[in-house]
Chains A and B, each alone.
Chain A
Amino acid sequence: MTERRQDQTVSDIKLLLTALAIAGTLAGWAALSQQDLAASADQSAGADAGALSAPGAPAPRQPVVRSVTLPSASVPPPIAITRSSR
């Protein structure tokens, strides 16, 4: 009887470990998937260069569309840069 109970306990522990392993794997996949989404969003922001939100348009919920367009072969480097005085 005692032996059966021990077997049952061992079996329960194995089941628990298996469940934990599966949960861990799923959590890992979910995290990787989120990273992919974030990276893809970053790339979109970069590709959106110059397409800044129009005046009066509702503010985007995610801040920071901080894109620069242009650099291409025909675009020269800036001769001067306007910035806050330093």
Chain B
Amino acid sequence: MVLATDRTARPRRLTRLAFRAMGSEVLAVIDREGRRAERLLGQVPRWFAGWEERLSRFRPESELSRLNRCPGQAVPVSRTLWRVLRAALRAAVESDGLVLPTVLPALEAAGYDRDFAEVRGDRPDPPHRDTPSTLMVAPLAAVALDPEHRTVRLTPGARLDFGGVAKGWAADLAAQRLGRHGPALVDAGGDIAVVGVPRGLPGWPIGIADPLTPGRQIALLCLTRGGVATSGRDVRRWWSGGELRHHIIDPRTGRPAATDLLTATVIAPSAREAEVAAKTVLILGRRDGLAWLERRGDLAGLVVTDEGQIERSSRFDRYLWR
């Protein structure tokens, strides 16, 4: 964990805290100085630890894992899990059915069956080979919610993974909480939410990483509200059964998406929506993904193809730092 005061931003100083949570690097920034700022930021890792405890599929005792182990039963769930599940179901609608929380069996079949830090090297296929991959993604009807009793019932075979939706949701909520005390930014593994604008700046300067050249950025954004997220198959990929796979499952095939995009970055009214849209664009590929973005007036995005070509949607330029 690194707590530091950024002296490069003028005229004010920002206080930032970096740590790891949800299997990713997390950064929290607030436009305040001094002990008060440090105390505020010091709460953020605790928030993330609490959310991870409930929402991680890699922890056998997490609330999500317990729910996944109880098919057919109405399981009472916490307010946190309920909210994230609702967000995941909204994501399914927003993405035209391309971002589903029920992809977990397909994700495991592709080889992503443990924390990514342990997914390394060429591995034999997991034992789901005889199940057609399309049957590994249960339809949304497999998830029954009872709002009155706040219970969730999964049909047998359906298991949930919140993945990026949980990170975007966490970034949004943490930024809102910090934002009560000053302009704030929270970056949960590349899903970034901002609240307010740092004094002395027109917005938050946010870079978009170049997936082909580590350390380089392909654009600098000026974000005044909402969020931005990048989805890609440049990092979380591995060899399994002699095949290079990645973690973005296309529910139409039940397999890692066959796409010509390496990364997709989307700016949206929230980090969660940005995350969902970025994943949707990545699954759809360059042509259909950009067309999908154009149809949504509240989104803007930029994609990088396998060959390194960069294309952007018509509304993207309004977010460039000028």
Contact = CB atoms under 8 A, between A and B. Distances in A.
B290 A80 contact: no
Contacts of A75: 205, 220, 321
A80 B185 contact: yes
Contacts of A77: 8, 205
B265 interface: yes
Interface stretch (B64-72, B122-130, B144-152, B225-233): B225-233
Interface in A42-86: 50, 52-56, 59-60, 63-70, 75-86
Interface of A: 50, 52-56, 59-60, 63-70, 75-86
A80 B192 contact: yes
Contacts of A83: 190, 208-209, 211, 230, 232, 235, 263
Contacts, number: 135
B307 interface: yes
A30 B263 CA distance: 38
B308 interface: yes
A56 B6 CA distance: 41
A76 B294 contact: no
Q: Count chain B CB atoms within 10 A of each CB in A53, A77, A85 and give the residue with the most.
A: A85
A12 to B, nearest CB: 51
Contacts of B312: 52, 55
B9 A63 contact: no
A67 B309 CA distance: 10
Given A68-B220, A83-B209, A60 B309 contact: yes
A53 B27 CA distance: 32
B38 interface: no
B210 interface: yes
Contacts of B231: 84
B236 interface: yes
Contacts of B210: 66, 68
Nearest to A81: B207
Nearest to A75: B321
6 contacts: A56-B290, A64-B307, A67-B218, A76-B201, A77-B205, A80-B185
A68 B217 contact: yes
B217 A66 contact: no
Nearest to B164: A85
A58 to B, nearest CB: 11
A63 to B, nearest CB: 4
